[in-house]
Structure 1
Amino acid sequence: MKMLVALTGPLWLLVANDEALARPSRRTADVAYVAANAPDYDAERHRLDVYAPRRKAGASYPVVVFIHGGNWNSGRKEIYRFVGRRLAKQGVVAVVINYRLAPQVQVPAMANDCARAVRWTKEHIGEFGGDPGRIYLMGHSAGGGLAALLATNDALFAQLGLPQNPVRGVILNDPAGLNMYAYLQKKQYPDDSQYVVAFGTAPAGWRQVSPYYYLTPKSPPFLVFVGGETYGSIASSSEEFRQRLTELGHQPGFTVMKGKKHVPMVLQLYWKNNMIYRQLLPFVGAKPQPEHLGTAQGQP
């Protein structure tokens, strides 16, 4: 279906320009969120980076955990330094995570990794000025599907010993995988067989990792952003997700961004004044930060 593409090329160009954002934030890199003696510990993939504002706040900052995309088989946190830097510059403590990928593991293990990263955030983010009671998730592409799954499937945290789901809200950026149960039953695109590597061959397993089926009236609030020129499967599944949330009594934010394709939907997070940040910051309760000279200004 050509739902997803490699993201590394254009994103590395933004990493090269990261210095413009570095001064107003402090980065703590390569923090392990899984114990080294855990039987499934991966020294590279079980790591995260924390980006915190340098300016001390009178109260704790809201927290956004960013989950990268990459077709469930690629991507790493270093590519998304610009997201962490930009969030920190705007009064948010950002946590940008790695998680294991296919073919090493399938989506249930990826979700478990992401949940463990959120648990680490709940337990430790106060050390970086973040508020453990205000944890939000943000994900692009495959990371959006994982973010939605964590926010709606409380069992992912219960099995880690957390009695309550710590996620207070979700920002989805051109999300993929919201309903893989329906998608993989159709298999209407020639390359759809590739997804069994990450999702397996059993329809029951596809449903298990589809956040659409975990939505309830008590699900946390969502902000959903979809590219006006994105893949048809992402556009349609996002709209179905919005409709289901509305049926359950929610009023999700839902914005179609005219002219945006799939990769530019995450590239725009480099710039301060884009539409996503204009909605994200009040959504998470971030307070306006003082301007800093020499920082990049924005495209919508």
Structure 2
Amino acid sequence: MRRFLLLTPVALLLAVIVVVLATEYVVARPSHRTKDVAYVAATAPDFDKERHLLDVYAPKKTAPNAAGYPVVLFIHGGSWTSGNKDFYSFVGRRLAKQGMVAVVINYRLAPAVHVPEQAADCARALAWTVANIKQYGGDPARVFVMGHSAGGGLAALLTTDDELLARNGLPQNPVRGAIMDDPAGLDMYSYLKELKYEGDAKYKVPFGNDPAVWKEMSPIYKIKPNLPPFIFYIGGETYPSISGSSGRFRDRLKATGQAPPYTIIPGRHHVPMVLQLYWQHNIIYQGLLKFVGA
């Protein structure tokens, strides 16, 4: 009996792994993944062979119209110091299964670079997407950006900062909308000035010590009339800094005439806000499908 009890957790773990792998197989069947595509030329002086890469997930079926499928560019989080696109293949597969072309990107991380370089990487990935996504079945005229945590802040910069895009090959902003999944970094200027919480000084590793940079990399100060639409999903138990800055961001959008959908998910902490994207029918995908017109 004792031996059985010792084996049971192992058997349970194996059963869970089998279920997960079977689910991923079923989800992957309707989609095709193109892995490790370089979005920066290998001849560029700052080319990073590991971080300047993206994956494309496309439905195997031909798009129902000649324009192609809507496109969602997903930016991972990780406090601007960690994270990898390979952790988020489940996001790409589920987006593709539901009638979108997904682009899941890497970008360089701190301390090797700072947030301005990371934002430039994301802009270059967006420029690659607009120029190349047609060959994967995507519609370059319907490109949306999505991010969780630090990735949400970077996605917001792509949506609000036309000068950032112009410096990186996009004279016109192609973003048609932004999906914010518990975004961090919307107002790092106020956050780093206050240093309100224990351990906050660690965020000076990616943002540096210059308040002018903090403000330049805070999309809340770039809000203006006629921005692409935003949609927000905020965890009911997320960090106060995220809920607070997201609420202020929403209020500033309202002042310009945009009333972004803003959903607080009760009981949900910060990390589960992205983990829930494993399940195809969760509330974020429900809203996202309508938002992008999939």
Q: Determine if contact 1:133/1:166 at 8 Å carries over to the other structure.
A: yes
C-alpha distance in structure 1 between counterparts of 2:291 and 2:71, whole Å: 11
- Could you say which residue in structure 1 is the equivalent of 2:76? 68
Q: Which residue of 1 aligns with 2:227?
A: 219
**How many angstroms apart in 2 are the aligned matches of 1:18 and 1:204?**
45
Q: Residue 15 of structure 1: CA displacement?
A: 8.0
In structure 1, C-alpha distance between the alignment counterparts of 2:74 and 2:168, rounded to whole Å: 20
Task: Give the match for residue 114 of structure 1.
Answer: 122
Unaligned runs of 5+ in 2: 1-16
| Cα-Cα RMSD | 1.2
Query: 1:194 — aligned with what?
Result: 202
Counterpart-to-counterpart distance in 2, 1:231 and 1:125:
35
Q: Who is 1:48 aligned against?
A: 54
2:127 and 2:169 in contact (8 A); partners too: no
* Structure (1/2) with the larger helix percentage: 2
Q: In the alignment, residue 150 of structure 1 is paired with which amino acid?
A: L
1:138-191 deviation line (CA, Å, top 9, x unaligned): 000000000001110001111123220111100000000000001111001120
Q: How many residues align?
A: 274
SS at match of 1:262: coil
Question: Greater relative contact order: 1 or 2 (C-alpha under 8 angstroms, separation 6 or more)?
Answer: 1
Amino acid at match of 2:227: S
Match of 1:250 in 2: 258
Q: Provide, for residues 22-48 of structure 1, a one-character-per-residue CA deviation record: whole Å limited to 9, x for no partner.
A: 101000000000000100000000000
Native 8 Å contact 1:15 1:82 kept in 2: no
State yes or no: 1:22 paired with 2:38.
Answer: no
Larger radius of gyration: 2
> How is 1:221-240 mapped onto 2 (pairs within 5 angstroms)?
221-240=229-248
**3-state DSSP of counterpart to 2:224:** coil
Match of 2:151 among 143, 155, 170: 143
Task: Give the Cα–Cα distance (whole angstroms) in 2 for the partners of residues 219 and 15 of structure 1.
Answer: 39
CA–CA distance in structure 2, aligned partners of residues 73 and 260 of structure 1: 23
What corresponds to 2:178 in structure 1?
170
In structure 1, C-alpha distance between the alignment counterparts of 2:217 and 2:76, rounded to whole Å: 17
For normalisation by structure 1, the TM-score amounts to 0.89
Q: What is the distance in 2 between the residues matched to 1:36 and 1:45?
A: 12
- Residues 1:127 and 2:114 aligned together: no
Q: Percent identity?
A: 61
CA distance in 2, matches of 1:20, 1:157: 37
Write out per-residue CA displacement over residues 91-126 of structure 1, whole angstroms, 9 at most, x where no aligned residue: 000000000000000000000000000000000000
Find runs of 4+ consecutive structure 1 residues off by over 6 angstroms. Answer: none
Q: Partners of 1:178 and 1:168 in 2: how far apart?
A: 19
2:152–2:184 contact (8 Å) kept in structure 1: yes
Asked if 2 retains the 8 angstrom alpha-carbon contact of 1:29 and 1:49, the reply is yes
Output the CA distance in 2 between the equivalents of 1:57 and 1:200.
45
Say whether the 8 Å CA contact 1:15–1:80 is kept in structure 2. no
C-alpha distance in 2 between matches for 1:213 and 1:112: 18
The Cα shift of 1:58 comes to 2.5
* Structure-2 separation of matches of 1:47 and 1:15: 26
Gaps of 5+ in 1: 1-12, 287-300
CA displacement, residues 45-85 of structure 1 (integer Å, 9 cap, x when unaligned): 00000000011122210000000000100000000000000
Q: State how far apart, in whole Å, the 2-side matches of 1:138 and 1:161 are.
A: 20
1:205 to 185, 194, 213: 213
Question: Shift of the alpha carbon at 1:129?
Answer: 0.3
- The corresponding residue for 1:57 is 63
Deviation at 1:21, TM superposition (A): 1.4
Q: How far apart are 1:19 and its partner, in Å?
A: 2.3
**Structure 1 stretch displaced more, 262-271 or 170-179:** 262-271
Counterpart pick for 1:260 among 268, 276, 287: 268
